Each structure stands twice: as C-alpha cells, then as structure tokens.
Amino acid sequence: MLVPFSVLGRWSALAGVAFLVFIGLFALLVAAGQRGGEEFFDNLWLTVPMLIAYFSAVAAFVLGAVAIATAGERSLIVIVATIVGLLVTVFGILEIAFPH
C-alpha cells in the first residue's frame, strides 16, 4: 500500500515532504551564492531552512514510528519517511555529541 490510512501516518508523510522541501530550499540558497560562516548561526538564511528540515525529519520519524506501532500503518511512504527521519535524527544527535 502506498497511501497512508491513519492520521499519524498522513502527518508523518507530510513531515517527510516538508523535510524534502526545506532541504531543496537550502540547496537553492547555496546555489544562489549564500555561504556559511565559522559558526552554525552565522548565516540565518541557511540556518533557518536547515533547522526546519531537521525538526521535520524528527517529526516524521516520531509520528511514523507511533503510526506503525499503534495504528499498524504499513504505507511505503510512512516507512521511508520513518527510516529517513531516524537516520537524520541519529546524525543530528551524533553531530551535537561529537562536533568536528
């Protein structure tokens, strides 16, 4: 099944789409000439879309995991959004815990 049937599954899919939209916006801004500084918050034009994309991925992971566990959601879109959200969440946590 491709389309989510539960409310949480639909929200997870929507958060996954928001993640893709804000990553695309970030890429467009970089292609337009925006550059970061030494710190994460030096250029807010790049920081805000990236933070929204991160929190969208975390929301997709949490909502998807809850939809799969409680409502028995088996939609491919929700499963992919949950896996991508999990990977982004783990990457974000590791980036905060072990900065480089």
DSSP string, 44-79: HHHHHHHHHHHHHHHHHHHHHHHHHHHS----HHHH
Residue boundaries of the structural domains of the chain: 7-97
- Residues in Cβ contact with 78 at an 8 Å cutoff, skipping those fewer than 6 apart: 4, 9, 12, 13, 64, 67, 68
**One-letter amino acid for residue 87 of the chain:** L
- The predicted-structure confidence for 4-53, as pLDDT tens digits, reads as follows 999 999 999 999 999 999 999 999 999 999 998 888 889 999 999 999 99
Enter the pTM of the model.
0.91
Over range 80-91, report the average pLDDT: 97
Closest CA to 62 of 40, 37, 89: 89
When pLDDT is averaged across residues 79-90 and rounded to a whole number, the result is 97
Phi, psi of 50 (to 5 degrees): -70, -40
Percent of the chain at pLDDT exceeding 90: 89
